[in-house]
Amino acid sequence: MPDPLRIGLIGAGANTRSRHIPGFRAIDGVELVAVCNRSRESGQRVADEFGIARVETDPAAIFTADDVDAVCIGTWPYMHREYAVSALEAGKHVLCEARMAMNATEAREMLAASEARPELVAQIVPGPFDLRSWRTIRRLVADGSLGDIREVHVTQLTGGSLNAGAPLHWRERVDYSGMNVMIFGILVEVVTRWLGPTRRVLADGAVFVRERRDADGRAHAIAVPDSLGVFAELERGGRVSYRVSTVLHAPRDANGISVYGSAGTLHWEMGDRMRFAKLGDEPAPLEPDAGTAGEWRVEADFVDSIRDGAPVALTSFADGVHYMRVTEAVDRSRTEGRAVPLDEV
């Protein structure tokens, strides 16, 4: 039996309750010792549901607790930097919910705090869309099956915001989400995982649903775009076009990512399905390479990194800094009306 690993939870929203808590509870020797949520009452409900012994009302009580070895941060992005830095400075391993931070500056501060404590594991919850296929796609890129990457088309079109009477979501609040826009950051994370860093972006966005009411009935003006278009250049060469919207009824195109190379084409669709075509052939279904099909094991990966020193693959703080730099470059581009190189961010 491994030594007990004792985890404190800060923020216990839907993803923490549905993913992280069950994931940790399934691992031998892992104990959930404390939870701190937005109120004592909500924290107590989580503690009662999952058998967590202690409820805290101040996150500092978890950072300073002698019986906490690691912290799982499940809040919205507006508190990620403060809590991650505090936890690392207190000597705790950190698993932080995505999106990494409000902007690139906060992300860099988180990375610096982790680099100051290299003996601690610092991990961001990865974008989960491509867990089954990403290793195979990276192999297609590395072995030349796709050839030189020329264009990448990223499509994520839904009608999720069409109901103007729906309650305000945290993703629609700049004070909670910062420069993050819809699920654009997850898509950037996936493209970066497959194809490497971005060099330059040119973006434009619009807000069609301009106001919503929160749970208390208060009206809030919305400044986060619900329609976004981005042209990007990869460091390796090749152009990426992103179309992301939540205000489209019955879009014609399937959501996914298409990679067009000089030697082949890959179509990846939401649901983690792939089709591949060598130059001159028609696309055919492609299964993941033998032994590479991943699944959700974020909590197990975090624990393995702590216990065995396994490097963080999905997703490191350094990788998070890059997607936050892209996110901030897009924000600057769409608000300033110009192309923005990543070197500026």
Query: What per-residue confidence (pLDDT) applies to 1?
Result: 59
Domains of the chain: 5-127+296-314 (3.40.50.720), 134-294+324-344 (3.30.360.10)
CB of 98 closer than 8 Å to CB of 315: yes
| Tens-digit pLDDT profile for residues 224-257 | 999 999 999 999 999 999 999 999 999 999 999 9
Q: Global pTM? A: 0.97
CB of 228 closer than 8 Å to CB of 181: yes
Query: What per-residue confidence (pLDDT) applies to 3?
Result: 82
- The number of beta carbons lying within 10 Å of the beta carbon of residue 3 is 8
- The number of beta carbons lying within 10 Å of the beta carbon of residue 214 is 14
Which candidate, 15, 77, 18, 137, places its Cα nearest to that of 320?
Answer: 77
Helix/strand/coil (H, E, C) string of 270-300?
CCCEEEEEECCCCCEEECCCCCCCCCCCHHH
CB of 312 closer than 8 Å to CB of 152: no
- Per-residue burial over 88-112, b if 16 or more Cβ lie within 10 Å, else e, is bebebbbbbbbbbbbbbebbbbbbe
Which candidate, 228, 246, 241, places its Cα nearest to that of 331?
Answer: 228
Give every residue of the chain whose pLDDT is below 50, as ranges: none
Query: What per-residue confidence (pLDDT) applies to 164?
Result: 86
Pull the structure tokens for residue 61.
Answer: 């009580």
* Residue 19 phi, psi dihedral angles, 5° rounding: -115, -60
